[in-house]
Amino acid sequence: MAEQTELLVCVTCKRGTEVTEDGERPGQRLYDALSAREFPEGVTVKPVECLQNCDHGCTVALRGGAARWTYVYGNLHEASHPDMLIEGAGLYHETNDGLIPWRSRPEHFKRNCVARIPPLEGQND
């Protein structure tokens, strides 16, 4: 199994909605919902500021070290996607290269990938 996996959650995402009076945003609510759940061993959730996908729902990134692909996913909702994100993060963590087999990926991952970033190590120059 690969090194530590991080699920990075954009806490500034507004998901096209108005910010509440207390300033809470949907991205923060997604992070809070995820933080209250248990993750597979080796997976952590971390808040980040602005993943630059503001017009396409809440956004997260999955990364796991220099030898693995990093993925950015959008169109997420704080109420309906936390369990799917935990499942997907666990599947990602089980890979050595970050590539979850297509048939095993959560359906949302198949249709809402914003970016796929190559690993830093192991690339042909």
Question: What structural domains does the chain harbor?
Answer: 5-117 (3.40.30.10)
Which pLDDT does position 18 carry in this prediction?
63
Reply yes or no on whether the pLDDT at 19 is more than 50. yes
Tokens of 69: 């692909």
The answer to whether the CB of 122 falls within 8 A of the CB of 99 is: no
Calculate mean pLDDT across residues 13-38.
83
Calculate mean pLDDT across residues 16-31.
78
The secondary structure of residue 4, as a DSSP letter, is -
pLDDT tens-digit profile of 94-111? Answer: 999 999 999 999 999 999
Reply yes or no on whether the pLDDT at 25 is more than 60. yes
Which pLDDT does position 125 carry in this prediction?
45
The answer to whether the CB of 34 falls within 8 A of the CB of 82 is: yes
Calculate mean pLDDT across residues 62-67.
94
d(CA 41, CA 29): 23
Helix (H) or strand (E) holding 13: none
Reply yes or no on whether the pLDDT at 122 is more than 90. no
With left for phi above 0 and alpha for psi between -120 and 50, is residue 52 left, alpha or beta?
left
Helices (H), 3-113: 26-35, 82-93, 107-111
